[in-house]
Structure 1
Amino acid sequence: MEYATIQITVPKDMKTYFTDNYSGESNEELERNALLLYPYVYKKVISHGRAAEILGIKKLDLIDLYDDMGFPYFDMDITDVMQDIQTFHSLKKIKP
C-alpha cells in the first residue's frame, strides 16, 4: 500500500495525539485513519468496502472495527427488527 502525507489543521492540544512515524502496523494508526474516513462512509460518499480498500483491510474487519468504536453497521433498534420479522412472516404466508 502506498502512503501520502497530508497536512491538517487541528487544535494545538490535539497535536500530541498524532505521530509522524506511521509504520502501518499500529492499531491506533488504523483506528485513526478509519475515523478520518468515517464521515465519508456515513454520508455515503464512499462505501465500507472502498474505505476498507483504502485502509488495506477486509470490509468485514472494518465493519468490526467501526462496531468496536461504537459505530454499528446496522442502525436498527429491536422494534425495527421485530417489525421486519413480522413483515417477513406475513409475506411468507401470502406466497403461493
Structure 2
Amino acid sequence: AEAKLLAPTLVDYKVALVTSVLHMPRAKDLFNAQGVEVITAATDYHNFAVLPWHKQLVPNAQALHVVTQYSHEVVGKAWISMRRWIDPEAL
C-alpha cells in the first residue's frame, strides 16, 4: 500500500529503501512494481552462527522471533502473488 501511495512522488528520484533484511525482497518488489527504483539499505540482520555451537541448538526467544518474521514474509509473498494473479494491477 505504501509503495502505491508514494510512487507518484518518488518515481523520478533516487530512493533509499530502509527496512529489515527479511522484509527487503518483498518491499523492493512492491516499489519496483510501481516503477520506483530503490537503493536497498537493509537492517536488522541476525547471525546465530556467532553463538557457540551448543547454544545454536537450544531454542530461544530471539530465534522464535526471527522465524515468526520469516514466516510473515513467506505468507506476504504468497499473498502478493495471489493478488497479482487475480488482478495484475492490484500490487
TM-score by length of 2: 0.25
TM-score by length of 1: 0.24
* Structure ranking higher on relative contact order (CA contacts 8 Å, 6+ apart): 2
